[in-house]
Structure 1
Amino acid sequence: MIQVNLKRLLSKKEVSALIDEATCLINSPLMIKDLDGRVLLGDVGKDDLLKHPISIGDKVIGWVFGGEKANVLASLLSHLATVEYDKKILGRETLEKYKEITLIYDSAEKLAASLDPKEVAQLVVDEVKKVIKADYVSIMLMNEETSIFEILAAAGKEYYPKVSLRAGEGIVGCVVLTGKAEIVNDVFSDSRYVVRVYYDKLFEAGDNGNA
């Protein structure tokens, strides 16, 4: 989670200069504290002052104590903290984009070296698992003869290596029917989630029920 350190923000030269200017304009006792009550700036002995929040959006990260005019300084620090937060967000997004581009480039090189569908699929799931940090990733392909979706490649702990599904079965089967991608954060709580173990044996025995 991205956070802005108020003490570090106040220590920046440009911020310190702005605080000095604001203090001169306000011309009254001021004190700045963090959320833990530590005094970061000002007169420690002034406890009878008004309390003005320093915030990023609706999240308070500190307080400016002073008269009514001290609200100006609190607003200024809130703005500077928000700018700092936005910079951190932009930095993280840039890093993520860089990782994505690197992944695409590396994957393209590996894919170019192989034309075998299984090898290509395995390369894809291996790289995807690294990026999204998933416990398990798999690619399913429909068997044209049986119309059953079977695992072509997988990465991670493969609980059911022979799991297979028909269109309409489970979450995967529903996505196939609707043609709409889905993000399911907890598959085990989804009523559509099914696991068909060793489907071929069950199918040959005439049992079409879910395992």
Structure 2
Amino acid sequence: MINLKFKKIILKPRMKGLIQRLLDDDHPIAVLDDHQRPIIGNLNLGDFQGYEISIENSIVGWVVSPLLDHPITQMLIYLIETEINKKVLAIDALDKYEELNFLYDISAKLSTCLNVQEVIKLMADEALKQIPGNALVVMIYQDGMMQVFYPKQNENQVILGQKISANLGIYGHVFKTGQAEIVNQVDLDTRFISQTFKIASLMCCPLMTQTGKLGVIQISSDRTLEYTAQDLKLFIALASQAAASIQNALFYEQLREYSHTLERKVAERTAELEKVNQELNQLANLDGLTQVANRRCLQETFNREWYRLAREQGPLSMIICDVDYFKRYNDTYGHQMGDECLQKIAQTLKKTLKRPADLVARYGGEEFVVVLPNTQASGAWIVAQEIQSNVRNLGIEHQASLVSPLITMSMGISSTVPTHSTSGEELFEVADQALYEAKKQGRDRMIFREFKSPISPSQRPEPRRNDGFYRL
């Protein structure tokens, strides 16, 4: 109901002056308030007929006179009703402006909320400022049930209630029909289901979005109120904004969860791919039988070290190792034992090397190549001796060998300081020639053959000693 002070309107100077001029003609007339108390006019009228002045079916005052049909009386009634209608229009326009301003303000605030509970808490705080009541509840439909949210007044908190059936109570009817309702006396409504808090009067609105019904929103009072159509109209407008904001927040939470899930899956997939790549890289660079570097890895590593040491003018040594009489071993013990023998030898070679840059690779069959960066001839000779000793210490029986009852190796060694005018193939050929000489001399031995670089001795840098880089 519009709050309008009838007596104040009648006693406004302009209105009072007009009425007083009509009364100066000694016309028996008076204006009374809604309790029939005189405001202005002839106070000794007795029990005369009265004309009701009403707003929205509620009497706010009376005009009384024995001559209600008299032109002066009709003029007075017309003036009063005109003035009241102007006031009603002004109040209505102001209310609409305040409502629009309120809705605009809450819309701006809601646009910053990306969390469902933040939206619900804001809606509760703002709605209870404009609409009579002391509690607001939001119910969101999820898989045939309603998830209840209880925002707590004066606390920055929203309590998550239990899920309840979507088909019961006043809220269930509102959700089903999609029509908002006012229930000013809930105890007289058979659909009402008591809550954990006292409710005497309520308004319930569906939360409608472009994609359908999201749930319901309910505002209530613990004392009996007379909610009006105007209250419901404002509440529906609020519910519309709440529905859009809640849906946006739900979409944002789903998107965030999806994003986190996607990031986790991408991270897991990336880790899997990295592991697979590592495995593929190992497969591409390792010999499948002996699990040491293969020829491809040997070639890449050797070329890289050759060009690096050519820039730095550091020494590079190579040892080519061959298992003595290995064909005889295979013929005597079988290929499975032969494979196990090669595996043991390969791992022994690998353990003998101490530096991360040193490399052992299977070159083919029973032949292995050891690459020793930053290692001079004397250092390579020491490594070859350790290899020979460690292989012999494996104690692998070889009754078919013509040099020893145990597995032994022949080795060719060469060393140089790489230059851009020479190639690694030349160093390999020299070491291979040394291996051939070791076999020719009876096997189970090491032969060193010098690789003569085209650089004159005067141009070759003096090798550093005991610096942690070069083997001596």
Category of TM-score, reference length = shorter chain: 0.5 to 0.7
Question: C-alpha offsets along residues 114-149 of structure 1, whole Å, 9 cap, x if unaligned?
Answer: 2112111221222111111212111111233xx221
Q: Verify the 8 A CA contact 2:166 2:172 in the aligned structure 1.
A: yes
How far, CA to CA, are the matches of 1:12 and 1:52 in structure 2? 27
- Report if the CA contact (8 A) 1:148-1:166 is conserved: yes
| Letter of the structure 1 residue corresponding to residue 146 of structure 2 | F
In structure 2, distance between residues paired with 1:131 and 1:75: 40
**In structure 2, what is the Cα distance between the partners aligned to 1:31 and 1:196?**
59
Q: Runs of 4+ in structure 1 displaced over 6 angstroms?
A: none
Deviation at 1:95, TM superposition (A): 2.4
Instruction: Give the 3 Å change call, closer, same or farther, for CA 196–185 of structure 1 in structure 2.
Output: closer
Q: 1:130 to 1:11 in 2, by over 3 A?
A: closer
Superposed, 1:95-114 pairs within 5 Å as: 95-114=94-113
CA RMSD, aligned part only? 3.5
> Could you tell me which amino acid in structure 1 is paired with residue 40 of structure 2?
L
5 Å-filtered alignment, 1:18-97, equals 20=21, 29-35=26-32, 36=36, 38=38, 40-41=40-41, 51=48, 53-57=50-54, 59=59, 61-64=62-65, 68=67, 71-97=70-96
Asked if the contact 2:148/2:161 (under 8 Å) is kept, the reply is: yes
Counterpart Cα distance in 2 of 1:122 and 1:69: 56
3-state SS in 1 of match to 2:149: strand
Distance of 1:19 and 1:115 partners within structure 2: 62
Partner Cα distance (1:99, 1:69) in 2: 40
Give the 5 Å matches for 1:60-209: 61-64=62-65, 68=67, 71-144=70-143, 147-154=144-151, 156=153, 162=161, 164-195=163-194
Q: Tell which has more relative contact order, 1 or 2 (C-alpha 8 A, sep 6+).
A: 1
* 1:183 match: secondary structure: strand
CA 1:138 to 1:82, structure 2 compared with 1: closer, same or farther past 3 Å? same
Question: Which SS does the other structure have where 1:130 is aligned?
Answer: helix
Counterpart amino acid of residue 172 in structure 2: G
Write the distance in 1 (CA, Å) between the matches of 2:134 and 2:69.
51
Q: Tell me if the contact between 1:121 and 1:139 (Cα under 8 Å) persists in the aligned partners.
A: yes
Structure 1 CA distance, aligned partners of 2:117 and 2:68? 69
> For 1:122 and 1:52, how far apart are their aligned partners in 2?
55
SS at match of 1:56: strand
Contact 2:139 2:149 in 1 (8 A): yes
Distance across 2 between alignment mates of 1:61 and 1:47:
13
Taking only the aligned residue pairs, the percentage that are identical comes to: 23
Q: Which residue does 1:200 correspond to in 2?
A: none
Q: Deviations over 1:171-203 (max 9, x none)?
A: 111222223222222223211111466xxxxxx
Distance 1:23-1:98 versus aligned 2 partners, 3 A rule = closer
Largest Rg, 1 or 2? 2
1:151/1:163 contact within 8 Å kept: yes
- Are the counterparts in 1 of residues 63 and 77 from structure 2 also a CA contact under 8 Å? no
Q: Classify 1:39/1:128 alpha carbon distance in 2 versus 1 (closer, same or farther; 3 Å).
A: closer
Alpha-carbon spacing, 1:52–1:95, altered in 2? closer, same or farther (3 Å): same
1:58-115 alpha-carbon deviations (Å, 9 max, x no partner): 84513235xx597222111111111122122222212221221122222122112221
TM-score normalized with structure 2 length: 0.33
Q: CA deviation at 1:170?
A: 0.8
Q: Is the contact made by 1:125 and 1:137 (CA closer than 8 Å) also made in structure 2?
A: yes
Instruction: Indicate how the Cα distance of structure 1 residues 123 and 11 shifts in structure 2: closer, same or farther if over 3 A, else same.
Output: closer
Whether contact under 8 Å (1:9, 1:81) holds in the other structure is yes
Distance 2:186 2:179 in 1: 17
Equivalent position amino acid for 2:86 in 1 = K
Unaligned residue ranges in structure 1 (runs of 5+): 198-211
CA distance in 2, matches of 1:16, 1:194: 58
